[in-house]
Amino acid sequence: MLALLAVGVAMVVVTAPPPAEDRAQAIGSQVRCPVCQGEAIVDSPSETARNMMDLVRARIDEGLTDQQIIDELLTSYGGSLLLNPPARGATLWLWLAPLVALGVGTAMVARRFHAAPADLLPAAAAPPVSPTLSRRWIWGAAVLVLGGAVAVATVGQFQQARPEDQSLSGVAGEDFDPDSVSNETLEAVVAANADNPAINGMRLALANRYFEEGNYQQAFGHYEIVLDNQPAPNEAANAFTRLGWMVFDGNGEADLGIELIDRGLELVPNDAFAIYLKGRIIWCGQGDADTAADLFSSVLSSTGLDAEIQDRVETDLAAAAAGEDCQ
């Protein structure tokens, strides 16, 4: 009975429909990015791949099946876009373990009754149950119980490890390091906990990662959401500073960039990185080398500067102080 129960639980777990984002990730892993070198659209940072993933999510919301979505992608983008996914047999033994246990146990019990059909003999002629048959009965029952228990326990672990289990408490504990997981995992966790105020720090970490990669398009939206969700002062300052640099570096809007960085500096006045970026915009965007040199000097007076950042600031200070153009 335990084995049969385990089979039922396994069927529910393995066949349960995945949530929308999990479906999108699964579909995206099967389709090749048409402008990349053998990379799935779910992993590609290209604009084409992001557009394709947006289409996948939209079609999931509309109720299309996985195959209908894949067919539309193949029709819309053309070419041979299907990847050859590796065989995935990780859950196969969840089905086999209880079935094997059930089969072995049933066979052993059947042998016991076949060897001693006491109900077909007169009571006086019924042979005594031999020790060997008793041991077989015990072993058969033990196999059933053990197989069922192992299957149920394994199914429980499988359920906890499924991709859609992206709760903030399960992924972002006190010792959680965002640098230890991929952008895709962070995106899934953030999306699954969008209404949780505690997700702001993780969203900010993801946005900063995109910022450092130069992926301004992805970073911009996350920074805006951080600012809309009642961030802590240091979180807001972080977002304002990087938004300011992106609007300058990406669109050449020097005045707006400085305004945004100043809003960050109102919250965290001694942010050396913000002061440095402001100096860069004043120098490169407004041509004011003297003011930029003053800001660079104030940055160098800060303690705890990263060695690489310090070298960059020193180089820029020397160039600005000499009246050179921004490089």
Position 87 pLDDT exceeds 70: no
Give one DSSP letter per residue of 178-244, joined into a string: GGGS-HHHHHHHHHHTTT-GGGHHHHHHHHHHHHHHT-HHHHHHHHHHHHHS---HHHHHHHHHHHH
Task: Give the mean pLDDT of 249-257.
Answer: 93
pLDDT tens per residue, range 181-197: 788 888 888 888 877 77
Q: Scanning the structure block, which residue is given the tokens 């070298």?
A: 311
Position 169 pLDDT exceeds 50: no
200-213 and 216-228 helices cross at what angle (nearest 10)? 160
Taking the C-alpha atoms of residue 4 and residue 269, their distance in angstroms, rounded to an integer, is 65
Task: Give the mean pLDDT of 21-40.
Answer: 83
More confident residue, 215 or 118: 215
Its sign, for the CA torsion 34, 36, 37, 40, is negative
Taking the C-alpha atoms of residue 133 and residue 108, their distance in angstroms, rounded to an integer, is 9
Q: Which two tokens stand for residue 200?
A: 């702001």
Q: What is the CATH number assigned to the segment(s) 2-77?
A: 1.10.8.640
Distances (CA, A) of 271 to 159, 240, 259, 266, 280: 44, 12, 15, 10, 14
Task: Give the mean pLDDT of 88-100.
Answer: 57
Taking the C-alpha atoms of residue 178 and residue 134, their distance in angstroms, rounded to an integer, is 57
Architecture of domain 232-321: Alpha Horseshoe (1.25)
Position 25 pLDDT exceeds 70: yes
Task: Give the mean pLDDT of 124-141.
Answer: 60
pLDDT tens per residue, range 266-292: 999 989 999 999 999 999 999 999 999
More confident residue, 100 or 160: 100
* Nearest one of 83, 103, 87, 93 to 41, comparing CA atoms: 83
Taking the C-alpha atoms of residue 56 and residue 72, their distance in angstroms, rounded to an integer, is 9
Taking the C-alpha atoms of residue 292 and residue 315, their distance in angstroms, rounded to an integer, is 12
What is the Cα Rg of the chain in Å? 31
* Nearest one of 181, 178, 217 to 200, comparing CA atoms: 178
Residues ≥6 apart with Cβ < 8 Å to 215 = 45
Position 315 pLDDT exceeds 90: yes
Question: Where in the chain is CATH 1.25.40.10?
Answer: 232-321
**Can you give the length of the chain in residues?**
327
Taking the C-alpha atoms of residue 57 and residue 69, their distance in angstroms, rounded to an integer, is 9
Position 176 pLDDT exceeds 90: no
More confident residue, 34 or 184: 184
Question: Where in the chain is CATH 1.10.8.640?
Answer: 2-77
* Nearest one of 309, 302, 313 to 279, comparing CA atoms: 313
Taking the C-alpha atoms of residue 288 and residue 280, their distance in angstroms, rounded to an integer, is 10
Which 3 state secondary structure label does DSSP give 21? helix
pTM of the predicted model as reported, rounded to 2 decimal places: 0.49
Q: Which two tokens stand for residue 229?
A: 């969700």
Q: Which of 33-47, 53-67, 145-159, 285-299 has the lowest mean pLDDT?
A: 145-159
| Predicted pLDDT of residue 88 | 44
